[in-house]
Chain A
Amino acid sequence: MTKKKKALEEQVVTAEPLAIEEATGTEQLRASLEEIKGYEGVIGYILRNSTSAAIDLKDPSKLIEYAILSSSALEAGEELSETFNLGEVKNILVEGKEVKVLSFTVGDNKISIFAEKNADLEKVLKKLGQF
């Protein structure tokens, strides 16, 4: 019992720095997304990773549709990149008649930013360039 407890403590000690590092990266990303959400024409974002999801949309009624679309876009991006040997996917932009969606991956995090059709996403891409 004591041995087991000791082993667990050791595990926790070794895992901690990594967890903090990952959390910091995701936190920074989330902070940037919060800032981006204030940009003109941006209507929200979805940030997902294997352990959590953060969704912030001005119109939550479309939350599920947006989440599924975002996931489909990222999957299609991977498939097309493989088909045409495009290397690592930087981003995929789906332009709709009303809204456009910019999706991309940073490490374990899958991000989609939703904006009005005429919004300028250059500033968003610049802001996210640091990741």
Chain B
Amino acid sequence: MNYNEIYTTALNNVLDDMRKVCPDIQHAFVYNEGGGIIAGSADITQKVMARVVDAFDDIFERAEAIGGVEAITLNGNMGTVKLYNFNGHYFIMVYSAKADVGYVDTIVRVLVPTVLKVLEKLSPTPLKNAIPPPQPEQPPVEDSTLTGIPTEVPVEELKLELEKEEAKPPPAPEPEPFQEPSPPLEVPAVQLIVENIGGLLVPSDTVRVDGETLANWENAFEGKKIEYVEIETFDGKTARYKVKPLKDSKYAGKGIVQIPEKAQLALEIKKGELVKVKPVIE
């Protein structure tokens, strides 16, 4: 189990415990500054999480005037949504109307910073920049990412994996990973948030992805230029598009894929939704 899995499991456990303490928490998840979902309850879909991230993002973009956001509370007739910002980790809690929000608030503000502090001490790098390094020596894992947007994995599955890891005898020293035969030519898909492309003469067959993601793919393919990507929606629709790096620096590092309107219509997706994007090598 690598550090990122420990990190995700720990945060998932925090969310689970929060829900045990307060059963009126209906949904909960955590995302990072780049918009990547780190942990979350299974009862909330990636699509909904992406929509929520997008909605809060609009506020974050305008919150400089008040010194940045520490917390947001939305009170509705039938419930409350609360966002906590712990040093770039955004915890989202959705409560039913009968929840004692003040009580949970106190627990969250004590428990979460403590857990994050412990994780920070364990971490080789600052947590909010925790990006899994490319690991060509390992076989590709379905749904893992290169851009630090971990895929949601059911907590139980992670717990089982952890138990299995613990039960195993200490691994024998491995030979130098880089001397192994060349890695399989398959890079796992990354999950990115759909963003519109503005402008008049937007080619409908080209999408834009972060230059860093493209560079990671090119490295994984031994410097081969990535000219096409395959986009897969969570409804299972796939299509191939030309790919270019993002022009707008405000989207850099945010886990964004800019898709022309026509392509969005064809894939039946819209801004704010999550899609899987993987490079195509011909």
Contact = CB atoms under 8 A, between A and B. Distances in A.
Interface of A: 62, 65-66, 68-69, 72-73, 75-77, 79-81, 83-101, 114
A95 B58 contact: no
A36 B267 CA distance: 50
A83 B72 CA distance: 16
Interface residues of B, number: 31
Contacts, number: 105
Contacts of B51: 79, 83
B59 A76 contact: yes
Contacts of A65: 62, 64-65
Contacts of B52: 80, 83
Interchain residue pairs A-B with the least CB separation, the first 3: A86-B76, A96-B66, A87-B77
A84 B94 contact: yes
Contacts of A80: 52, 55, 74, 81
A92 B74 contact: yes
B135 interface: no
Interface of B: 26-27, 48, 51-52, 55-56, 58-59, 61-81, 94
Given A81-B74, A89-B74, A69 B62 contact: yes
A91 B94 CA distance: 15
Given A76-B55, A80-B55, A95-B73, 12 more contacts: A69-B65, A75-B58, A83-B55, A87-B76, A89-B76, A93-B74, A94-B69, A95-B69, A97-B68, A97-B70, A98-B66, A99-B65
Nearest to A93: B73
10 contacts: A69-B65, A72-B59, A72-B62, A76-B58, A79-B51, A84-B26, A86-B76, A89-B76, A97-B70, A99-B66
